[in-house]
Amino acid sequence: MAKISVFGIGYVGVVSAACLAQDGHEVIAVDVDQGKIDAINAGMSPIVEEGIDDLVREMVAKGKLRATSDFGRAVHETEMSFVCVGTPSAADGSVGLSYVTSVCEDIGKALREKDVYHSVVIRSTIVPGSTESACIPVLEQTSGKKAGVGFGVGYYPEFLRESTAIADSYDPGLVVFGFMDEPTGQILADLNKDMPCAVNKVDIRTAEMVKYTSNTWRAVKVTFANEIGNIAKSCGIDGQSVMEILCSDKKAAMSPYFMRPGFAFGGSCLPKDVRALRHLASQNDTPAHLLNAVLEANEAQISKAEAMVEKSGAQTVGFVGISFKPGTDDLRESPLVSLAARLINKGIEVNIYDPFVKEAYDSGTPGAGRGNESVPNLENRLVGDLDELINDAGAVLVGNYYNETVEKLKEAAKTQTVVDLTRLHRDMVSDENYEGICW
């Protein structure tokens, strides 16, 4: 079993650390946020995710997982470090590397004082060439050692979907990693030896590119399904039936998870990764027409939903869901946040039913409301009772699908305006009160 330090107690970091600990490894989670550190050491998860609370509690109790702000000690007490910090988009759409390089600088300083071989593995999503052009130079400069000789380097992207991240850790569908040196490659191979899918061992740039290709493909599929849905609706055809039939062709390897007409994509990965790949293409003087179209079409889907709400004439709108997808409290680049902000700026009152976001606030989860930069007084807009939300609303906007809301919302659609971006039920199509975005 390995001793691993995980730098960054965010979404990927917490899930990775807890799952590695469950596999029997000794894991130290590292961050500068004392609230997150205290939460882990108290056996509590600093994020909201299905099953993560129990897993963190169990691993801390077993002594397999602990957290610290002492970067140097974490490096000295482990044999491999995972870098799992965020890479937010810069103003021009390029990937932001400041958090990654800052962590690499701190790890490099610790490596200068460490005589035992240590591997540094980047898990953050970074465009091809970033490990070589940004991470390795910083590590070499601060450690005084040469990459691949004095310390190991690898790139090992994650393929975790929020709300199913623990299950995805053990069945990701795709495993790929790149490495400079055999010791790093061997440890990564050992970590993945029991995976129920192919393990792809490649060079670092290829591993970086696979991650962006995978995320961009997801974004492309969502946009394609929405466009088909919009066109199908204009012809009086059910776009979801069309896409379901298309997805039944398993030889085409189409995942029905994304190939479903509905609302815009969002979250911490797809929007920024499409922007970053588009920026990379521009830097290389390579046309990227589809990437431009993906972002333009995604924005248009938000504008379409905005127009649908405005058409209703409602001055009070009840949102069912505000996170970028059901099952998480993550608001980063949520299209529902963008939509709500637009309506609020036009003088429309917005109230919100979102059990996961409300849970994060009510439980005092560190980082509650994470990613919200647009909706003022978000916590005060949250409503815990769906009946109250419906009764007070001139129109109800269904942004996320929650099983417990379906029957009440179907009933509400008989007498008041319901704008549906996710589809409550396959039998429901646009009529006098009910308006589906693609059906």
Q: Is 332 annotated as a binding residue?
A: yes
Q: Is 272 annotated as a binding residue?
A: yes
* Identity of residue 58: E
Taking CA 299 as the corner, what is the angle to CA 297 and CA 304, rounded to the nearest 5 degrees?
90
Kindly list the catalytic residues.
269
Q: Is 96 annotated as a binding residue?
A: no
Q: Is 211 annotated as a binding residue?
A: yes
Give start-end residues of each CATH 3.40.50.720 domain in the chain: 3-202, 297-436
The structure tokens listed for 299 are 């924005």
The CATH number corresponding to 3-202 among 3.40.47.10, 3.30.360.10, 3.40.50.720, 3.30.70.940 equals: 3.40.50.720
The structure tokens listed for 272 are 């920024």
pTM for the whole structure: 0.83
- What confidence score (pLDDT) does residue 90 get? 87
- What confidence score (pLDDT) does residue 251 get? 72
Q: Is 342 annotated as a binding residue?
A: no
- What confidence score (pLDDT) does residue 253 get? 63
What secondary structure, in 3-state letters, does the chain show? CCEEEEECCCHHHHHHHHHHHHCCCEEEEECCCHHHHHHHHCCCCCCCCCCHHHHHHHHHHCCCEEEECCHHHHHHCCCEEEECCCCCECCCCCECCHHHHHHHHHHHHHHHCCCCCCEEEECCCCCCCHHHHHHHHHHHHHHCCCECCCEEEEECCCCCCCCCHHHHHHCCCCEEEEECCHHHHHHHHHHCCCCCCCEEEECHHHHHHHHHHHHHHHHHHHHHHHHHHHHHHHCCCCHHHHHHHHHCCHHHCCCCCCCCCCCCCCCCCHHHHHHHHHHHHHHCCCCCHHHHHHHHHHHHHHHHHHHHHHHHCCCEEEEECCCCCCCCCCCCCCHHHHHHHHHHHCCCEEEEECHHHHHHHHCCCCCCCCCCCCCCCHHHHECCCHHHHHHHCCEEEECCCCHHHHHHHHHHCCCCEEEECCCCCCCCCCCCCEEECCC
Q: Is 258 annotated as a binding residue?
A: yes
The per-residue pLDDT string of the chain (439 residues; one tens digit each, 9 = 90 and over) reads 999 999 999 999 999 999 999 999 999 999 999 999 999 999 999 999 999 999 999 999 999 999 999 999 999 999 999 999 999 998 899 999 999 999 999 999 999 999 999 999 999 999 999 999 999 999 999 999 999 999 999 999 999 999 999 999 999 999 999 999 999 999 999 999 999 999 999 999 999 999 999 999 999 999 999 999 999 999 999 999 999 999 998 777 667 888 889 999 999 999 999 999 999 999 998 999 999 999 999 999 999 999 999 999 999 999 999 999 999 999 999 999 999 999 999 999 999 999 999 999 999 998 899 899 999 999 999 999 999 999 999 999 999 999 999 999 999 999 999 999 999 999 999 999 999 999 9
Q: Is 164 annotated as a binding residue?
A: no
Crossing angle between the packed helical segments 239-247 and 204-234, to the nearest 10 degrees = 140
The CATH number of 297-436 is 3.40.50.720
- What confidence score (pLDDT) does residue 382 get? 98
